[in-house]
Amino acid sequence: MTESSFSRKDMIAVLIFAAFILIVLPLALEPFRLNLVGKYLTYGFVGLGLVLCWGDAGILSLGQGIFFGLGGYCMAMFLKLEASTPAATKIQSTPGIPDFMDWNQLTALPWFWRPFHSLAFTIAAVPLVPALLAFVIGLAMFKRRVGGTYFAIITQAIAAILTILIIGQQGYTGGVNGITDLRTLLGWDIRTDHAKLVLYFISGGLLIACLLLAQLVRRSKLGRILVAMREREDRVRFSGYDVANFKIFVFCAAAALAGIGGAMFTLQVGFMSPSFVGIVPSIELVIFTAVGGRTSLLGALYGTLLVNWAKTTFSEDLPQLWLLAMGALFIAVVVAFPNGLAGLVQENVAPLLARLRPRLRPVPSATVDAPKQGAVR
């Protein structure tokens, strides 16, 4: 972290966010609400990835739910295996395997479940399995210069495939109910209020660490190349950069971040199901980011918290209005505010602050420029 990669203004903004989620919210909210916020924070990981991938590099992935789900399923498999000890499952016809496998007449643990007995393997798999899939998809697509709308449609199709596969292969994946009834992590009960509080702080801390990491990427030369690719891909290519490799990298990074989010989601909420994998959740994840601001990391995080808070409030009181409001929000954000909340803040609040505190001049930022409308692909 050198002086050049982080301006003072950025640090202050990150500190404010950290104070908000780690001090203000835990003091202000009752445990139930805080647990909900903990759930929203796990979506924030996906938001960070989308800012890098979509906001900076201009690659719209409509399949972030795939990676969120894969990370979540990795964690859920570990927890499920821990919950299915032979002692706890002795009423099954095959003790020692997860209950849904027993219901589906499986008599042995499938091979791909075996490594998930180990926590170290699971922790490694949470970012790596999504990143590996992203690598394969990216290699096949970007090396052949498939991009833009085609890429979006294909990621969407893959999300659909994965959902159908998970629901269809009930014996291996728990089917439409997902992997439920998760109890302990290395003997530590994750269902108590206290455990949820601890997990909330772990999520928050991890999120801030990832935020700093993403910030580091954006402020480096790599970040500038990503933005350059979004604006004029041909020129970057003619300058001698292998555009495909950078795209693959940023897509993998976004996938790994989404995987971490998914794993924290499983821990926080206590189950994982295909309803977080498919097309609809994937697009919702994109819209959280769009509302907050696709070119601002902090904007994406605030946007995620805000939209989810609104969703919960609306669905409690006026469920039929929620879809209408969400649809209108989509359209309004896309048509009128392409840079989301962060754009509004930058245009209106930042000059105000600058006038109030003349010593704190706005630092010219290279990577958070709004995308020029004509050049976005």
Partner 1 sequence: MFMGYSLGDLGSILAMQGFAGLVLFSVFVLMALGLAIIFGQMGVINMAHGEFMILGAYVTFLCSRLFAAYLPGAFALYFFLAIILAFCASGLLGMAVEWALIRHLYKRPLDTLLATWGLSLILQQVYRSIFGAREVGVELPGWMMGSTHLTEQIEIPINGLIVMVLTTLITLAVYLLIFRAGWGRQVRAVTQNRAMASAVGIDTERVDRLTYGLGCGIAGIAGSAFTMIGSTSPTAGQLYIVDTFLVVVFGGAQSLIGTIASAFTISQARSTMEFFLSGSMAQVLVLLSVVGILMLRPQGLFVLKVRR
237 binds partner 1 (CB under 8 A): no
Please state, in angstroms and rounded to a whole number, the distance separating the CA atoms of residues 213 and 217. 6
Nearest in space to 70 (alpha carbons), one of 16, 134, 142: 134
| Binding status of residue 161 toward partner 1 by CB under 8 A | yes
State which amino acid sits at residue 344. Answer: L
- Paired residues of 179 in beta bridges: 272
The distance of closest approach from Cβ of residue 257 to partner 1 in the complex, given in angstroms and rounded to an integer, is 20
Smallest gap from residue 160 Cβ to partner 1 (A): 5
Does residue 283 belong to the site contacting partner 1 (CB under 8 A)? Answer: yes
Query: Among 18, 29, 310, 329, which residue interacts with partner 1 (rule: CB under 8 A)?
Result: 329
Output the DSSP codes for 319-341: HHHHHHHHHHHHHHHHHH-TTHH
**Span of 95-103, 182-190, 253-261, 282-290 interacting with partner 1 by CB under 8 A:** 282-290
Distance CA 45, CA 228 (A): 24
SS3 244: helix
Count of residues interacting with partner 1 (CB under 8 A): 45
Residue 211, H or E segment:
helix 193-219
Q: Scanning residues 244 to 273, which ones bind partner 1 (CB under 8 A)?
A: none
In the complex, the smallest distance separating the C-beta of residue 376 from partner 1, rounded to whole angstroms, is 5
Rounded (to 5) percent helix, strand, coil in the chain: 75, 0, 25
**145 touches partner 1 (CB under 8 A):** yes
Q: Tell me the window of 219-227, 230-238, 330-338, 344-352 that interacts with partner 1 (CB under 8 A).
A: 330-338
Cα 270 to Cα 174, 186, 280, 321: the distances in Å are 14, 15, 21, 29
In the numeric block, the tokens 């772990």 are attached to: 202
| Touching partner 1, residues 55-74 (CB under 8 A) | 60, 62
Instruction: Give the residue with the Cβ less far from partner 1, 118 or 149.
Output: 149
| Sheet strands (E) in 203-316 | none
Going by C-alpha positions, the residue among 59, 126, 63, 49 that lies closest to residue 281 is: 63
188 phi and psi angles, rounded to 5 deg:
-95, 120
Q: Is 331 in the site for partner 1 (CB under 8 A)?
A: yes
Stretch that binds partner 1, among 31-39, 122-130, 246-254, 326-334 (CB under 8 A): 326-334
37-45, 64-72, 110-118, 142-150 -> range binding partner 1 (CB under 8 A): 142-150
The stretch among 4-12, 85-93, 140-148, 358-366 that binds partner 1 (CB under 8 A) is 140-148
Closest distance between partner 1 and the C-beta of residue 338, in Å? Answer: 7
Interaction between residue 156 and partner 1 (CB under 8 A): yes
Q: Based on CB atoms, which residue is closest to partner 1, 151 or 249? A: 151
Rounded to a whole number of angstroms, the minimum distance from the CB of residue 161 to partner 1 is 5
Residue with tokens 């290395």: 186
**Hey, what are 276's tokens?**
């977080």
Which residues ranging from 72 to 131 are in contact with partner 1 (CB under 8 A)?
A: none
The answer to whether 179 and 73 have CB atoms below 8 angstroms apart is yes
Helices (H) and strands (E) in the chain, counts: 17, 2
Residues that bind partner 1 (CB under 8 A): 60, 62, 140-141, 144-146, 148-150, 152-154, 156-158, 160-161, 164-165, 167-168, 279-280, 283, 286-287, 290, 320, 323-324, 326-331, 333-335, 338, 373-374, 376-377
